[in-house]
Every structure is written in C-alpha cells, then in structure tokens.
Chains A and B, each alone.
Chain A
Amino acid sequence: MFLSYHAVLVFLITGIVMVCTPMVLGALFRPKNPYPAKSMPYECAEDPVGGAQVRFDMRFYAAALIFIVFDVEIAFMFPWAFVFSTYPDRTLAMLEGVFFLLVLGLGLVYVWAKGDVDWVKGFNRRRRVQG
C-alpha cells in the first residue's frame, strides 16, 4: 500500500540531501573568524541605535500604499506618452490613458473618503460631530 508513495520518499530524501549538502560543504570551506565588529548588526557602518523590536507607526503603511498608487501611475504614463505620437488611433490612445488615470483617481477618492489621507484618521469627522 505504501509502495505507491515511493515517489514522495524519493522527493523527501532528495530535498533533505539538497539542503544539507551545501550547508556541510559551506561549513568545510568557509573560514570561521567571528569578532565583535563583525558580529555587530549591519547599519550601513553606523553604530546601531536602540533595539530592533521597536513599534512602527501603522500610518506609514497607508502613506506608502497611497504612494504606490502614484508611483505605478507615473511608471505606466511614461511608455504611454512615448508611443502616443506614433500610435495610429490617437483618440483611442487618449481615451485609454484617461480611463487609466480615472481608475487610479478612483483609488485616491476611495482613500480620501476613508480618511486615510489625514494623518490623524477620522479627526475631521469627529470634530464635525462635536461642532
């Protein structure tokens, strides 16, 4: 019954061997010479400051995502602008470009409406309620 799984066994053994061989070979080949300056965390040759497990403000995440919207937009606009003059049907090319911008603009509108553009999320809405 288990004989039908011999392929799995072969793959398992192959996988283990493929991982272990380079590690053993590397241990044989490499010089081992640790010292404090070498074991120090790499911080572009500066002295590390503070701990690595710090809290990071989640609002930067939203800001980075919004940045990606514009970043990708520009990255796609360049080739579009480059071939625009040589494109046979310029009206179609223009419409396609505008449609692309509209879709991405819709993303910005969504983000704006959700209040992610504000640094303090929902602050304006709360103030409206109070006033």
Chain B
Amino acid sequence: MLNNSLPDVAPVKAVDGLVGWGRGSSIWPMTFGIACCAIEMMAVYAATFDLDRFGAGVPRATPRQSDLIIVPGTVNAKMAVRVRRLYDQMAEPRYVIAMGACVCGGGPYVKWGYNTVKGVHKVIPVDIFVPGCPPRPEALMDGILKLKEKISREAVFARRGKTAREMEGRYAQAPAAAPGRGAGA
C-alpha cells in the first residue's frame, strides 16, 4: 500500500533500514533443486554448514511462502518454463540466486548444449550469481550474505530507485517461453 510512495527522508530511511534488516535476516528459500548443484545446496542447509545461522535455513515447500529461489543446476528449455512459473508464483518481494556455472551462463553446455538455457537470467531476473561447478557451500553462503546486504539496502517505503513492478516489467510482460535452441552457440 505504502510501497515506494513516501518521500526519501531520514525517518523513512530509518524504517526502511529496519524492514530491510528484518527481511534480510529472515529469508525463506524455496525447496527447489534441479541438478548436481542441489547436492551442495542441501549440504548448506544441513548441520555442517548450517544456513540457519543466517536465518535462511528453512526451505519452504511452496513458492507462496518463499522469498528466495536458489536455482541450483542446469536449466534446460523445458525446465525454464517451469522455473519462470515458480518465480511468478512466489510472493513479493522475491529474490533469485543463480547457483553454478550452468545457471550463470551455460557452463560446460555453453557451446554444444542444444537444449540448455545459457543462464537463468534469460528467464527470470537474477539478484546474485554464484559461479562454480558446483560452487562450494561457502560460496553459496557468501551469495546469501551478499543477498542479505542487497535486501537491507533496498527502499521499502521511500520513493527511491525503481519499484518491484518497474524492475521486472520487462519480465512480467514477456511470454514464459524459453530461448530457442542454439541460442548462444
């Protein structure tokens, strides 16, 4: 109701900072794994690395309850449509972490992978790229912390930057179709 509608003055900034701190410290990721990177992602959730230290350790089983979708693994043309729809069905504000070389830009399939989408940013707007094949759990944790920083800097009430709707206008209008085969080859 009041999103990005108040003037960008000190008290509003203070409230924004408080809300951003709350949002960044209680990220709810979605239970979502595609390929081998998902194994590393599970390790991050589990006891050794314990993502719950950063408040992001409880993956939700439905996009309606999630703020964050970690896309871990190769996104092929068929899956890209599903990833797009899962992202669509998440509650706003929503964030995307692209995990692994395939999702960041095609990875080993960049030349000959005829059905691989060369980077999930072609389908959904990505906030944080975590490269690696697969990335170490520490790398994903670093990505989550970077996302936390990004969330805490975001304007919630203040009229600053672009609204969520403007930011993803390009994506919201586009049909949920995967790029054609051979793109980027």
Chain A residues packing against B (C-beta within 8 Å) = 27-33, 35, 37-38, 40, 42, 45-46
Contacts and interface: CB of A to CB of B under 8 A. Distances in A.
Interface string B42-85: 00000000000000000000111000000000000000011101
Contacts of A38: 88-89
Contacts of B163: 31
A29 B86 CA distance: 23
Nearest to A35: B172
A30 B62 CA distance: 18
Given A38-B89, A40-B88, A45-B89, 15 more contacts: A28-B2, A29-B156, A30-B91, A30-B92, A31-B3, A31-B92, A31-B163, A32-B3, A33-B92, A37-B88, A37-B176, A40-B89, A42-B62, A45-B86, A46-B82
B14 interface: no
- Across the A-B interface, give the 8 residue pairs with the lowest CB-CB distance, nearest first: A45-B82, A37-B88, A31-B92, A45-B85, A31-B164, A45-B86, A31-B3, A28-B2
Interface residues of B, number: 23
A45 B78 CA distance: 11
15 contacts: A27-B1, A28-B1, A28-B2, A29-B3, A30-B3, A30-B91, A31-B164, A32-B1, A32-B3, A33-B164, A35-B172, A37-B85, A40-B85, A40-B88, A45-B81
B15 to A, nearest CB: 10
A28 B19 CA distance: 12
B83 to A, nearest CB: 8
